[in-house]
Chain A
Amino acid sequence: MTLPFAIIAGLTVGSAIAAMSLRNLVHCALSLVLTFAGLAGLYLQLNAEFVGFTQILVYVGAVSILIVFAILLTRSTEPKDEPTTVTPWVGISVAVGAFLTMALAVLASPVGKRIAAPAPEVSVKTLGQKLMTDYVLPLEVMALLLTAAMLGAVIIAMKDKEGSR
């Protein structure tokens, strides 16, 4: 375990805990931005530069702005609610159980001790060529999905006019 990895991993996990446990929703969104940025750092450490920068563009840039907008638009006018369920320990124990199961599996597996091969040559050019040849059908389906999702989001969130339905 190297020091940069420990710092980035600690930052990511800590801000994720903060994002899920803070009471103020805007603070939660800001911690979430830190988590996404930390994940981008982990991708860069793993020599996945393009995915790391995509993570910054899509998550740190777009998704977090979307979340902040949604939080501000739905800011509750009613009195402060209880932020969690009456029995939060049920969900927490389920999560802890899931983590222990996964951690035991990871630590027991011989794959976990594997050391990385020398860094592969991955340029944006080769990625683009793959996207345009081997993965062209998934790419087109993805474009269709994004268009449909965008239209759907606009239609769902559109204010219905009085008497139009």
Chain B
Amino acid sequence: MILRLLLSVCVGLTFVTASHAAIEDQVSEFMLDNGMQVVVIEDHRAPVVVHMVWYRAGAADETPGVSGVAHFLEHLLFKKTKNLDAGELSRTVAENGGTDNAFTSYDYTAYYQRVAADRLPIMMQMEADRMVNLDLSEDDILVERDVIIEERNQRTDTNPSALYREQANAALFQNHRYGVPVIGWRHEMSNLTLSDALAYYKQYYAPNNAVLIVAGDVVPDEVLSLAKETYGQIPPNPNLLERKRPSEPPHFAPRRIEYVDERVSQPYVVRSYLAPERNSGDQRPAAALALLADILGDGQASVLQRKLQFETQEALYASASYSGVSLDTTSFAVYMVPSADVSLKDAEAALDRTIAEFMEEGVDEAQLDRLKTQYRAAGIYAQDSVNGLANAYGRALTSGLTLQDIHEWPDIIQSITAEEILAAARDVFDLNSSVTGWIRK
């Protein structure tokens, strides 16, 4: 059995190395003359293609006073254009057995269709059309504004945790637009106008501000020639500005929020800290934070869960979260759902005590090795979903990262040391740039 085990470990390492190479081999990158970036991810296992256009513009690129306009415009892109009737794009997708949708975040707005691979040309034609040919009327605005307000009702106003997150972000970010909700503040949403939407459209929707991602059963050269025939015909926006947003000043005081809502059934405590994001060519601090979040909160053997759920049993659940893919400074959070007889005050103290213990005890090397194994395996599992890959590439490429950064990330994760993780923890756990929330009824 020992020999067998040894063998399988060796085979494993070979596989893992090979599969990293495989992901990169599946990816091609082109640049159209008008400045549009094109990325093709090949996967020939099924005759399916995901076609996505990502704009390097999201809610954090809005001007003050029109919060929600990036997302509003996303809805309006399904209306009439000079060449398409309202709803014609979605109808065409559906008639071809496909699905389509769009989503908006702080740093990007993305549109996608998932169709049989041979339907790609018509998708590219239609998506290129609505990049510049939108033909909106005042009526479109009125009905769709009601729709986004219902969306806000559904996502935020009926959900105490979502309402708390709005309050917390507004407190965490003192200057950056990450403090304003993507869906928008309700009072500004209800006043959004046609000209607000068109101003955003004209400023940001252009080939030199977009990334085309085509993933699935396609050949890169054919995608490129189709892209030239469609998106390649659109002139770039010469007035596109460098993407520069207001940045956070130094923070000097911890902020605290007590959010009370009778719809809360399970009280919890959460603390968010400002944290550095993944930067192009400089991803080590973010990689250390990604591992820190896993060490603290991923799985039953993680630090917070082991100590708080298993040892002291003060928590029903505890975890940590961090998302490094972000154009600007992001956040790192720890949270705890206390057991029935534990108060929020005691829960917060338990969370603080546990993190202090961790800083004292340091990183368990065996746990770090396990995590690195899981990251390697995640690279293998990720190949099973071309849709997931397309999304990950799109998010990264509109958040200030390059293909090279994406492809270097796995090796950077593998090379992070326990000392780097502790150093990142010391930097990020600064109460003066934090928001602590108690959510209760």
A and B held together in a complex: no
